[in-house]
Amino acid sequence: MSDTDRFFDEMLTPEGTPRGPYASYGRWFDGEDLRELRKKSAEAENFFRRTGITFNVYGQAEADERLIPFDIVPRVISAREWARLTKGIEQRVRAINAFLHDIYHRQEILRAGRVPVEIIARNDAFLPQMIGMAPPGNVYTHIVGTDLVRTGEDEFFVLEDNARTPSGVSYMLENRETMLQMFPELFTRIKVQEVSDYPRDLRRSLAASAPSNCSGDCTVAILTPGIHNSAYFEHAFLADQMGIELVEGHDLRILDGKVAMRTTEGYKPIDVLYRRVDDDFLDPLSFNPESQLGVPGIMDVYRAGGITIANAPGTGIADDKAIYSYMPDIVEFYTGEKAILQNVPTWRCSEAESLKYVLDNLSELVVKEVHGSGGYGMLVGPAASKKELAAFRKKLEARPANYIAQPTLALSTVPILTQKGLAPRHVDLRPFVLVAPDRISITPGGLTRVALKKGSLVVNSSQGGGTKDTWVLEE
């Protein structure tokens, strides 16, 4: 069986003609000179390097800044496909917020036996400090990045919910900016929905979630772990685009029941803090006492209604990989509807029967750490060597509850530009969702990550993945 049969190519049919959404792009591409396009590719890299769109790689001796490779072939989604996706995402995000409220209050879903108690009780992502606490506007996840994969014409799966601090939105914006600069003529031919409103929408959405005692102009700020964080560029970029301050823990202190930032004119109170610092480091008085990144006492201010923290502490319980397998039930429980978007079938290795299945079929499966992210510590069975499989088997047997397993999905492909022309590569998609008390909005587009290595299924930037501009077509 050839690759073209096994994997859904989003651009081309098996006969090699462009599918509907790619029709105009395909015509344009056929009229272009490959060498010229290769030159544009190099230009794009230069553009990114100059702009400083870089990330730092953890675990590398030289903490140098790296570029995420950018591919100039866009990923195109039709208006119809997008409409269905957004409906599904919105439903899912609504359910996640209801779930979080429930889990930190009456815990109906546990009482109903739809989610086992142990999975919450023994979970580090569950924060007892949040019990009984209602965040302003009852919003827990102000910003969500839902990871989707596709396996066929109408087959989309949710891979991860990313309800803590999803990153990558700066790439969505800068990738588009780069495409607009390099191929302005394309955008006059093809009507693509704008993504540039995102920073304004984000600011408005955050301000709408301000504490009720904030009247008039609310002060919003971004909290970053600092210049050495892998996503620092994004933090600075968003602050700049929103016209708000980018603060670090040592810029902040508690004054008169508010979190205040040290400005050149004295301390100024903050109403909404978009934090890109993990729960554990947020407040040394409530969580990790060693943390230098947070603000001592911020949780007290939060509990007293003096500040909005976005996303709320403790949201990690909703995107935990052990919870993930229960998402279809969670959606149904809170919305009363069947989930529009499918879950990937998941084996919880904590269950003896599942563990046995996973061990028996290890070379066919993808195994992930329950609390892992970024593609670290995961096993892609079909791509692993005998040695790697054996080593992973040991880890699994030692701590089964630490893992879940999923079938290796036949991820769809979108072509990238190579030396020899177009070549299919596997992709995923992360649309970005904003949740305010009164509305949920999803920017038409998102971050398409692409595995640049032929045949690779791992799209993470830390593992050799690149990105593409994502086009949602106008109706």
Site residues (vs another protein, CB under 8 A) = 49-52, 227, 232, 236-237, 239-240, 245-248, 250-251, 253, 261-266
Residue 219 DSSP label: P
Shortest gap between Cβ of 255 and another protein (angstroms)?
Answer: 13
Q: SS3 of 366, please?
A: strand
Find the length of the chain: 475
Shortest gap between Cβ of 230 and another protein (angstroms)?
Answer: 13
Comparing CB distances to another protein, the nearer of 253 and 303 is 253
Burial of 414 (C-beta count, 10 Å sphere; 0-12/13-18/19+)? buried
Instruction: List alpha helices for 122-278, DSSP H.
Output: 169-182, 184-189, 198-208, 232-242
Comparing CB distances to another protein, the nearer of 53 and 130 is 53
Shortest gap between Cβ of 114 and another protein (angstroms)?
Answer: 45
Q: Which residues pair with 148 in a beta bridge?
A: 158, 429
Comparing CB distances to another protein, the nearer of 120 and 252 is 252
Shortest gap between Cβ of 244 and another protein (angstroms)?
Answer: 8
Shortest gap between Cβ of 186 and another protein (angstroms)?
Answer: 23
Shortest gap between Cβ of 53 and another protein (angstroms)?
Answer: 11
Sign for the pseudo-dihedral over CA of 133, 324, 367, 63: negative
Shortest gap between Cβ of 456 and another protein (angstroms)?
Answer: 30
CA separation, residue 178 to residues 41, 167, 190, 392 (Å):
10, 19, 16, 41
Query: Which residue, among 365, 363, 364, 350, has the nearest Cα to 397 in the 3D structure?
Result: 350
Q: SS3 of 413, please?
A: strand
Comparing CB distances to another protein, the nearer of 147 and 251 is 251
Query: Which residue, among 1, 149, 14, has the nearest Cα to 424 in the 3D structure?
Result: 14
Bond into 311 cis (ω within 30): yes
Comparing CB distances to another protein, the nearer of 154 and 265 is 265
Give the DSSP H or E segment for 47: helix 34-51
Comparing CB distances to another protein, the nearer of 197 and 240 is 240
Shortest gap between Cβ of 245 and another protein (angstroms)?
Answer: 6
C-beta of residue 238 within 8 angstroms of C-beta of residue 53: no
DSSP of 244-300, one letter per residue?
-EEE-GGGEEEETTEEEEEETTEEEEESEEEE-S-HHHH-TTTS-TT-SSS-TTHHH
Shortest gap between Cβ of 311 and another protein (angstroms)?
Answer: 22
Comparing CB distances to another protein, the nearer of 245 and 329 is 245
Phi and psi at residue 376, to the nearest 5°: -80, 145
Angle CA(294)–CA(298)–CA(299) in degrees, nearest 5?
A: 115
DSSP of 50-85, one letter per residue?
HHT--EEPTT-SS--EEPPPEEEEEEEE-HHHHHHH
Query: Which residue, among 74, 149, 72, has the nearest Cα to 412 in the 3D structure?
Result: 149
The one-letter code for the residue type at 354 is S
Shortest gap between Cβ of 307 and another protein (angstroms)?
Answer: 17
Shortest gap between Cβ of 69 and another protein (angstroms)?
Answer: 18
Comparing CB distances to another protein, the nearer of 226 and 377 is 226
Give the DSSP H or E segment for 58: none
Residue 245 DSSP label: E
